[in-house]
Amino acid sequence: MQYSELGDSGVEVSEVGFGAWTVGTDWWGDRSEEDAIEMLQYAVEQGITYVDTGDVYGHGRSEELVGRALSDVREDVTVATKVGYDFYNNPQAGHGELPKEMDPEYLRDAVDKSLDRLGLESVDLLQLHNADVEEITPDVLELLDELEEEGKIEAVGLALGPSIGWLAEGDLAIEEEFDSVQLVWNVLEQEVGNHFLETIERTGSATSLIPRVPHSSGILNEQVTPDTELGEGDHRGFRPEEWYETGWEKLEQLRFLERDGERTMGQASIAWLLSHDPVATVTPTFRTTDDIDEWAAASDVPKLTDEELTRVAELYEADFDIDRDDGMDALRSSVGGEDIESAGLDKLAAD
């Protein structure tokens, strides 16, 4: 495992991290608390020292399990959490998005509650969870500074989503020198990541990028194949059928990234993201210890060559020569599509 720094914060992260949204929820298949704790501890044994959770995952349950699992290795791990969804006063409706609350007083209280559940006096990285541009006010920025000065947080980030748009928010975070921006980014979904690379280069910002969904909801690690039947409640079911059908065709054109015995497609997908200098860590969705064994090793597999990187870029630019709708021709945007349009992306903003 290799390690890097988040921005210029001094906070160290493993290049492969553990996305703890799978812990404390049943959106990616249910598991017992004991199984969840064992998976987290096993991940640390394999060199994964960055664990990314959020207060809304399981309405605090994920943070509690992360705290229990990592209590004996606190000095060896980097813990990140997120705040901004008000689950305290609103019931969860399936996979629907809860109301957000970015009032500084609420956020301060939410941070204190997260620290209590995690069993920590300080969290290494605090991320605003899907904050809109207008919600990242001077008062919010002042609060984040105060929390750092008080020693309750070591670094500040913004987690973007739940879809793959939100360009204006990421640009603002980069311009404000947040330590990290988390986003959906993978070989099949490159627009937003490429845009932020340009923003970082243009501004000279030290902001790190944290890609999630590196396997594009199971296509690139081949956990979702034409024979797969996604179970009820499986979060990957939000993708339209057309997305998977075109994705499987694109996968076949990416087989050149595999190296027998040296690099699997699942590892290559992570290695491709790590080839971009601003990427500090990648958080795949682990479901089993076998996943951890394979993907934790992605930090050490042969790096992608310049020729391989060029070929990936050319395939994506040509849309893999697939002249068919993939069902995902809408990027969610918090500013009515102006950010998508101004970036020149060939996508429509969702209503």
pLDDT digits 0-9 by tens, 321-348: 998 877 777 677 888 888 888 888 877 6
Q: Residue 22 — very low, low, confident or very high, per pLDDT cuts 50/70/90?
A: confident
User: How many percent of the chain have pLDDT more than 70?
Assistant: 91
Q: Give the span between the Cα atoms of 249 and 319, in whole angstroms.
A: 11
pLDDT beyond 70 at 120? yes
pLDDT beyond 80 at 92? no
User: What is the reported pLDDT for 316?
Assistant: 95
Poorest-pLDDT segment among 88-97, 120-129, 167-176: 88-97
Q: Is-contact 113 156, C-beta < 8 A? A: no
Give DSSP secondary structure letters for 121-178: S-EEEEEEES--GGGS-HHHHHHHHHHHHTTSEEEEEEE--SSS--HHHHHHHHHTT-
**Which residues face 4 on adjacent strands?**
13
User: What is the reported pLDDT for 112?
Assistant: 98
Query: Which domains are present in the chain?
Result: 3-349 (3.20.20.100)
User: What is the reported pLDDT for 88?
Assistant: 85
Q: Give the span between the Cα atoms of 241 and 225, in whole angstroms.
A: 11
Q: Give the span between the Cα atoms of 292 and 40, in whole angstroms.
A: 10
Q: How many CB atoms lie within 10 A of CB 327?
A: 14
Of 293 and 345, the structure prediction assigns the larger pLDDT to 293
Q: Residue 156: which residues within 8 A CB-CB, separation 6 or more?
A: 125, 126, 127, 144, 148, 178, 179, 180
Poorest-pLDDT segment among 28-32, 84-88, 209-213: 28-32
User: What is the reported pLDDT for 33?
Assistant: 84
User: What is the reported pLDDT for 31?
Assistant: 67
Q: Residue 29 — very low, low, confident or very high, per pLDDT cuts 50/70/90?
A: low
User: What is the reported pLDDT for 225?
Assistant: 72
User: What is the reported pLDDT for 51?
Assistant: 98
User: What is the reported pLDDT for 35?
Assistant: 87
Task: Please report, in angstroms and rounded to a whole number, the separation of the first and last CA atoms in the chain.
Answer: 42
User: How many percent of the chain have pLDDT more than 90?
Assistant: 72
- Take residue 265 and report the two structure tokens written for it: 């497609």
Average pLDDT over residues 23-29: 62
Instruction: Supply the pTM of this predicted model.
Output: 0.94
User: What is the reported pLDDT for 193?
Assistant: 96
326: nearest Cα among 233, 249, 232: 249
* Single-letter code of the amino acid located at 264: T
pLDDT beyond 70 at 187? yes
pLDDT beyond 60 at 28? no
Q: Give the span between the Cα atoms of 286 and 28, in whole angstroms.
A: 9
What is the average pLDDT score of the chain? 90
Q: Model confidence over 41-71: pLDDT tens digits?
A: 999 999 999 999 999 998 999 999 999 999 9
Poorest-pLDDT segment among 104-108, 147-151, 315-319, 338-342: 338-342
User: What is the reported pLDDT for 223?
Assistant: 86
